[in-house]
Amino acid sequence: MTDSNEKPSPISAIEAARLLAALEAAKTAASHASSEQRAASAGFGRFRGELAAVQESVRKLGTRSRDLKNSLHVLRESVDRAKLSALNAGLEGARLGEPVGKALVVMSDEQRNLLARALDALEEHSALLAEVERDRERCFGEISQMREGVSQSDGVLTRAESQSKLTVALLHELRTDFGQLFGSDPEAARAMAEAAQQVRTAAGSVLQLTQRSALDSNALRELLSPLLSLLPNREDPPR
Amino acid sequence: MAQRAGLLVRRDGELSFLPASVARFLVPLPRLTKIPWDSAQMARVGGEVVPVLALGTPSGELLLCEFEGQAVALSGLSAERVGFWPASESGVNVDGATVPIFDLRTALMQFRSDRPAAQQGAPHD
């Protein structure tokens, strides 16, 4: 029963219960958000690790590419020298004159043709390798940018997680303050609101019964007034 | 028709013919050494020191020649083919086109005239 000297609360018990429920829901949502952010942050961590591994592989590809380039250079030198050898053999044949040296000259010319084809192929390989190297460098740069982006996103996520944790803590504090503000435990406030609802329903039923009976409604209202004073003035929809 | 045996070389995009009696052999371009107070360059080829006539941009090969009993190396040429070709008035016919004989004598004379006199370039006591 409400003490007549006590200042009435600006909000009803039902409103308090609703606020409490909203508070609880907000706290739960913030808690979920925090754990989701933690999971996402862990995912980002794994992704960052995988990106680092990919970047390392791309870097190693660069070393292989340089090895290949060196091999091609050695091949090119060898083909160049073989070409000079073929020409020198041809010069010997030319000095010997026809018909003795003719075979040597013809062989030299054939060899020179083959070596020219080999040189063309080597040039093509060098060009392809240069293209691959350009692609690799572009890839390496893009992975670096991705890693940077993931790091930034991870940082944002970590800050968001901290904010969520802070929100949960603040909501918890708010819940405690809420209890202190209404002089009771929020659970008790909820129980009170439910009880008040039941009392109101019961009082309404009694009033209906009275109207049907011969009992004077005014007398009955007087009789029920201590009970009705517990209820808020306006109609609250049932929770 | 008489045949000429020799080497086709390219210099500044132009083909020239060097008889096999002049062109001895080709080597990868060795390190060239400049002679102090002189524009001439020397190279060591097969243990022998030979003067080098720079005829153009170094091509990665050096052609050893023998001219009037003297060894001389030519750089800035690119050897293309060796063979026997029909002789023409000024050189050889290669695939229907006339390729002139490389004028080594003129090149040597020009080389000599371009060199600063040893007395002018050398330091005095």
Q: Are residues A192 and A1 in contact, defined by beta-carbon separation less than 8 angstroms?
A: no
Instruction: Count CB atoms within 10 A of the CB of residue A115.
Output: 20
Provide ipTM, 2 decimals. 0.88
Residue B88, phi then psi, degrees to nearest 5? -120, 180
Chain B nearest-CA distance from A87, in A, is 6
In whole angstroms, give the CA distance from residue A201 to residue A222: 17
Partner-chain contact A109 B79, CB within 8 Å: no
**pLDDT at residue A238, rounded to an integer:** 45
pLDDT in tens, A108-132: 999 999 999 999 999 999 999 999 9
Cβ contact B73:B79 at 8 Å? no
B114 against A177, higher pLDDT: A177
Q: Which is more confident, B79 or A17?
A: B79
What is the residue-wise DSSP string for chain A?
Answer: ---SSSPPPSS-HHHHHHHHHHHHHHHHHHHHHHHHHHHHHHHHHHHHHHHHHHHHHHHHHHHHHHHHHHHHHHHHHHHHHHHHHHHHHHHHHHHH-TTTTHHHHHHHHHHHHHHHHHHHHHHHHHHHHHHHHHHHHHHHHHHHHHHHHHHHHHHHHHHHHHHHHHHHHHHHHHHHHHHHHTTS-HHHHHHHHHHHHHHHHHHHHHHHHHHHSSS-HHHHHHHHHHHHTTS-SSPPPP-
State whether A90 and B84 contact (CB < 8 Å). Answer: no
Q: What is the pLDDT of residues A47-103, one digit of tens each?
A: 889 999 999 999 999 999 999 999 999 999 999 999 999 999 999 999 998 888 999
More confident residue, A168 or A183: A168
Domain ranges for chain A: 30-167
Q: Which residues of A touch B81 (CB under 8 A)?
A: 87, 90, 109, 112
**Would you say A86 and A118 are in contact if contact means Cβ atoms under 8 Å apart?**
no
User: A4-8, A163-167, A207-211: which has the highest mean pLDDT?
Assistant: A163-167
The secondary structure element, H or E, covering residue B110 is: helix B104-114
Query: A206-234: string of b/e by CB count within 10 Å (b at 16+)?
Result: eeeebeeeeeeeeebeeebeeeeeebbee
pLDDT-above-90 percentage for chain B: 55
**Closest-CA residue to B94 (of B29, B6, B20, B11):** B6
| Amino acid identity, position A83 | K
Q: Does A98 touch chain B (CB under 8 A)?
A: yes
User: Per-residue pLDDT averaged across B92-103, rounded?
Assistant: 93
The total of other beta-carbon atoms located within 10 Å of residue B56's CB is 14
3-state secondary structure of B111: helix
Higher-scoring residue by pLDDT: B62, A34: B62
The domain over range A30-167 is classified in CATH as 3.40.640.10:
no
Quick check: A112 and B3 CB within 8 A? no
β-strand pairing of B48-54 with B70-75: parallel
- pLDDT confidence of residue A199: 73
User: What is the reported pLDDT for B118?
Assistant: 46
Asked if B122 has any chain A CB less than 8 Å from its own CB, the reply is no
Q: Do A91 and B83 touch (CB under 8 A)?
A: no
B61 reaches A (C-beta below 8 A)? yes
Extract the tokens encoding B121.
């370039």
What does residue A158 show for φ and ψ, rounded to 5 degrees? -65, -40
pLDDT band at A157, cuts 50/70/90?
Answer: confident
Residue A93 identity: G
Instruction: Concatenate the DSSP letters of all residues of B41-88 into one string.
Output: EEEEETTEEEEEEE-SS--SEEEEEEETTEEEEEES-EEEEEEEEEB-
User: Residue type for A224, please?
Assistant: L
Chain B residues lying within 8 Å of A94, measured CB to CB? 5-7, 20, 82-84
Contact predicate B88/B96, CB 8 Å:
no
Range scoring the smallest mean pLDDT among A125-139, A176-190, B79-93: A176-190
Q: Cα(A187)–Cα(A224) distance, rounded to whole angstroms?
A: 27
Take residue B92 and report the two structure tokens written for it.
Answer: 């050889």
Domain boundaries, chain B: 3-114
Determine whether A147 is exposed, middle or buried from the number of CB atoms within 10 Å of its CB (0-12, 13-18, 19+).
middle
φ, ψ (nearest 5 deg) of residue B71:
-85, 135
- Taking residues B46-70, what's their average pLDDT? 90
What average pLDDT score do residues A159-180 get? 83
What H or E segment, with its residue span, contains residue B8?
strand B3-11
* pLDDT for residue A214 is more than 70: no
State whether residue B18 is helix, strand or coil: strand
